[in-house]
Amino acid sequence: MAHKFYDDTALPKLVADFASLELSPVDGRTMTDFMHTRGLNMCSLGRVVELAEKLPHIQSICIHEMVIRAFKHVIRAVIAAVDDMQNMSAVIAETLNILLGSPRLENDLDTDANEHNLRLKWVESFLSERYCWTLKDEFAHLRKPIILRGLCSKVGLELVARDYDMNSPNPFDKSDIVNIVPICKHVVYSSIDSRNLLESSKMALDKGKLDDAVNYGAKALSKVIAVCGPYHRLTANAYSLLAVVLYHTGDFNQATIYQQKALDINERELGLDHPETMKSYGDLSVFYYRLQHIEMALKYVNRALYLLQFSCGLSHPNSAATYINVAMMEEGMGNVHVALRYLHEALKCNKRLLGADHIQTAASYHAIAIALSMMDAYSLSVQHEQTTLQILQEKLGDDDLRTQDAAAWLEYFDSKALEQQEAPRRGIPKPDSSIASKGHLSVSDLLDYISPDQERKERDMQKKCRRAKNNTRAHQGEPVEEKENFQHDSGSLLEAEKKDFQ
């Protein structure tokens, strides 16, 4: 009965959560954490590969993790067999060359081919026996830096930080082995009360009860600091969640402060290349962008993208989401063409990994529609937003807020496309695309912009009358208003528009 539930319910539910991006592992460590949290054994990685046939990024992570765990046993056996510690670094370097080096192209072809075939047969037999999975031609497409990173993490190796040539037969030398540190499995202590409060905060945030989410998050933070201390990975998680809640309430300054604290803790406790640290970089970049510190935001988001390239490669949904964030920041700096290149790359990545009808793919279409509207290509914006709305209607239904948001954006793009078509005939100015530069507005803000209030209409009318008077005086040879007055009026209008959008 337990085996039936394990195979027919627990493992398919895990893969379903991977497909919906409720869980998004980026490397073997996060995959291990997710499976152990649900009581799943790592020997089931082969079964996960079979179930995730439509998720190539999950299959890649599982295959790399299985190979890393196989090589781990080899290196541990070699270390245990060394008698003279003076030869330890040379033996480890030679083992890494055998496992990760490429065959020679000229000399000793037969010897290298035999070593390569022997290594491949051993890996195939180990994976078949331990994980019940048959290795096909995936071994030739493995990314060796990911395997090396995983081996160092599991065995405790410290290597010299340099660019290793994995295409050479001997990429490692004994001088590259700096140290060996012990790896100890231990129980991570936590507070049950703080964990329950964090879950309550997440649930309140999902339901839109922001005040309750803030209260639960603040109480959870105080609890976890009292139990685990100020520098602990659970404390960093509490800071990060509270930062996200405050971000949704509009308190961007405090959200940035809390997220910076979470990043400092993760860098110190987990390391610079840990998945939680990567996530902290990405979240902090979004917060800085909302504070209009675009250069700082680009610095952190590029750091996150750089680390993702090493941990999971650029063919991953997290990399696609980071592409969208980079594009949003490039749009803020006026580089719309650069932003479009990032957005198209994100769209291709999401369609290849998740499918053409996934919600994350719809988000890519929506981001491209906004970028195109900033280039006054409203007809193309309508096409992309129609695709977004169609996907969201099929996946979420008409009552979901995201579907209503897409419908409001489509209405706006339709109206602007119609204005753009009628502008040459009526001799009116081109439609304003300033709304697109404001980012992803809510439904209420978007409707307020499309149907502005009476006070705003009066301000716009006064502005038009003032321009008309200036034009009349210019034609009659009269001096127009002074430059200082014009700048003052423009500044007040910009402030008024800024308040309307906020």
Q: Kindly state the average pLDDT of the residues 461-490.
A: 41
Residue with the bigger pLDDT between 457 and 491: it is 457
**Alpha-carbon gap, residue 442 to 478, rounded angstroms:** 46
Residue 396's domain spans which residues?
313-444
290 and 359 share a domain?
no
* Chain-centroid distance, C-alpha 205: 20
Give per-residue pLDDT as tens, 345-358. 999 999 999 989 99
Nearest to 180 by CA among 212, 155, 211: 155
DSSP codes joined into one string, 220-273: HHHHHHHHH-SSSHHHHHHHHHHHHHHHHHT-HHHHHHHHHHHHHHHHHHT-TT
214 falls within a domain: yes
Give per-residue pLDDT as tens, 152-187. 999 999 999 888 998 888 899 999 999 999 888 777
137 and 195 share a domain?
no
319 and 197 share a domain?
no
Give per-residue pLDDT as tens, 275-294. 899 999 999 999 999 898 98
Give per-residue pLDDT as tens, 373-399. 888 888 899 999 999 999 999 988 988
Place of tokens 């089931």: 44
29 falls within a domain: yes
> What is the structure's pLDDT at 489?
37
> What is the structure's pLDDT at 444?
42
Residue 43 in this model has a pLDDT that exceeds 90: yes
257 and 339 share a domain?
no
Residue 450 in this model has a pLDDT that exceeds 80: no
Give per-residue pLDDT as tens, 389-448. 999 999 889 888 889 999 999 999 999 888 888 877 766 665 555 544 444 444 344 344
Which of 151, 180, 209 delimits the end of a domain?
A: 180
**Alpha-carbon gap, residue 250 to 262, rounded angstroms:** 19
**Alpha-carbon gap, residue 137 to 123, rounded angstroms:** 12
Phi-psi region of 39 (alpha: psi -120 to 50; beta: other; left: phi over 0): left
458 falls within a domain: no
453 falls within a domain: no
Hey, what amino acid is at 351? Answer: K
CATH of the domain at 228: 1.25.40.10
Give per-residue pLDDT as tens, 361-374. 999 999 999 999 88
The interaxial angle of helices 275-290 and 233-249, nearest 10 deg, is 20
Q: Kindly state the average pLDDT of the residues 120-148.
A: 87
Residue 113 in this model has a pLDDT that exceeds 70: no
Which of 421, 444, 467 delimits the end of a domain?
A: 444
Q: Indicate the pLDDT class of residue 206, thresholds 50, 70 and 90.
A: confident
395 and 428 share a domain?
yes
Q: Indicate the pLDDT class of residue 140, thresholds 50, 70 and 90.
A: confident
Residue 110 in this model has a pLDDT that exceeds 70: no
**Alpha-carbon gap, residue 25 to 43, rounded angstroms:** 17
Give per-residue pLDDT as tens, 83-96. 888 899 999 999 99
Q: Kindly state the average pLDDT of the residues 13-37.
A: 91
Across the chain, mean pLDDT equals 82
> What is the structure's pLDDT at 436?
47
263 and 159 share a domain?
no
Structure tokens at 59: 């299959």
Confidence (pTM): 0.76
Residues 6+ apart with CB under 8 A from 123: 67, 70, 135, 139
> What is the structure's pLDDT at 401?
86
Total domains in the fold of the chain: 3
DSSP codes joined into one string, 95-149: HHHHHHPPPPSSTTHHHHHHHHHHHHHHHHHHHHHHHS----SGGGG--HHHHHH
298 and 323 share a domain?
no
Which of 164, 180, 196 delimits the end of a domain?
A: 180
> What is the structure's pLDDT at 225?
92
Round the CA-based radius of gyration of the chain to a whole number and report it: 28
Q: Indicate the pLDDT class of residue 494, thresholds 50, 70 and 90.
A: very low
Residue with the bigger pLDDT between 453 and 245: it is 245
Q: Give the percent of the chain with pLDDT over 70.
A: 82
> What is the structure's pLDDT at 311?
81
Phi-psi region of 21 (alpha: psi -120 to 50; beta: other; left: phi over 0): left
